[in-house]
Structure 1
Amino acid sequence: MIEMLVSGLAGVVLGLSLAAPPGPMNAVIAEESVLRGWRSGFLAGLGAMTADACFFVLALAGVIAVVREAPIVRGLMVGVGGLLMLYFAYGAAQDATSTFTTDEVDEDAKGFRKAFALAITNPYQIIWWLTAGVGLLDPGRFDVLSGLPGSLTVSTGGPIIIVGFFAGIACWITGFPAALSAAGKRVDSFAPAVAYVSAGILALAGVSFVYDSVTTLV
């Protein structure tokens, strides 16, 4: 029972390690949250989570391992992701002049599609699945207290740690938009500031990824 609990918590930590770090995906979630409300931010996060579910299936099928050995394929994916980030950076800068609107289905769907497109080509997520993701799916056991008194064993490759992983992502994409949406509603100037910061993060990441793609392919 203890091992199951520890494995589940380890999965949550792994999920947060993918979802929480600052970067282009959280920039998109932040923009959607402060401009259009919690639902739009949550659905943007759900778009990113859906991409992770796709990576999970691809990893199970062994496709992730093939991409690891194909630098040209990785370079092309990084390039596409960089161009998408530059495109959405332009859109985020335009959104900075918007004000809060009611939740609309088409806007929510737009946020979901935008986040999914970025996530499925996001080099950080691809690299995560090539490294930590492989460890998540590889059946095994390890002691997190290795070298210390006692034993605290985590089982990888099983349903408990995988459920915990997606639960960790779900916690982030629920709580992060809620916090930003609440702050944005209290301070009206907060929304355009977040949109401009999001545009800057996306633009810098886009330029970096396009450069990485060009150097890889050339």
Structure 2
Amino acid sequence: MTITELFGLLGYGMVIGVALAAPIGPINIEIIARGIRGGFVNGWLVGLGALSTDTVYAVLVVSGLTPLADSPRLRFPLFLAGGVMLSYVALKSLRAIRDTPAPSDHITPRRGRSYLTGVLIAAFSPMGIVYWVSVGAALVAEAVARVGSAGAPVLVGGVFLGLLAWVTSLSVLAQIARRFVTGRGMRWVTGISGVVILGFAAYFFIQAFQSIG
């Protein structure tokens, strides 16, 4: 593999990583909400937690475990677990509306909890799993076809960098927006994020029961 091929594949992976992260979903909603409530670090750690889970999925795809993860028998428990997890996050957010302080107030960041939230949302999100066992597997196959087996880890590394760039940028934007949000606005952000995530939970429950219909 030449240097040109190396950087070309790395850049290609970065584009794929951004494309994976950009659509509005539970992770992006949580990054924005936590970033506005608790600052850059809290939002960024949610994204880093999700990134950790995506990295595990990428390694599984490269290891050739895609057929196991794509088993129809796993769809019901995957969607059901995802719905339960997102329901918990959403209801916790909605219950916190009354206690949400203005961004200017002192907040002690619970960094470990932010990271764990990102890990769990991504781990129990069927959308992420489906992406990696379908699109991810195809990307790895393409990388191998282009430059041989050495291309797979390079492509995964590019995807990792793309995801990291996205969650960092989104957390920076949340930190900037935090300066302009009042206490009332913060409650709106908390409430809206809770409702949106609850909507994703409902979608997962519907998909779970449709998979056994």
Query: TM-score, normalising length from structure 1?
Result: 0.85
Of the three residues 67, 89, 102, the one matched with 2:107 is 102
Q: Tell whether 2:135 aligns with 1:140.
A: no
Task: Name the % identity.
Answer: 24
Residues in 1 aligned to 2:41 and 2:72: alpha-carbon distance in whole angstroms: 38
SS in 2 for 1:181: helix
Structure 1 residue runs of 4 or more that deviate by more than 6 Å after TM superposition: none
Of the three residues 128, 131, 139, the one matched with 2:131 is 128
Residues in 1 aligned to 2:95 and 2:66: alpha-carbon distance in whole angstroms: 36
CA contact (8 A) 1:47 1:113 kept: yes
SS in 1 for 2:146: strand
Give the corresponding residue for 1:211: 206
Aligned pair count reads: 203
CA contact (8 A) 1:67 1:74 kept: no
Cα pair distance change 1:156/1:203, threshold 3 Å = farther
Residues in 2 aligned to 1:72 and 1:111: alpha-carbon distance in whole angstroms: 31
* 1:78-115: CA deviation from partner (whole Å, max 9, x where unpaired): 110011111111112233341234343xx211111112
CA contact (8 A) 1:184 1:190 kept: no
Cα pair distance change 1:213/1:23, threshold 3 Å = same
Q: Tell whether 2:160 aligns with 1:166.
A: yes
Cα pair distance change 1:156/1:95, threshold 3 Å = farther
Structure 1, unaligned runs of 5 or more: 143-154
Report how far residue 51 of structure 1 moved. Answer: 0.6
Query: TM-score, normalising length from structure 2?
Result: 0.87
Give the corresponding residue for 1:85: 86
Give the corresponding residue for 1:45: 47
Residues in 1 aligned to 2:211 and 2:162: alpha-carbon distance in whole angstroms: 33
Residues in 2 aligned to 1:77 and 1:215: alpha-carbon distance in whole angstroms: 13
Which AA in structure 2 matches 1:193? W
Report how far residue 5 of structure 1 moved. Answer: 2.6
Cα pair distance change 1:167/1:176, threshold 3 Å = same
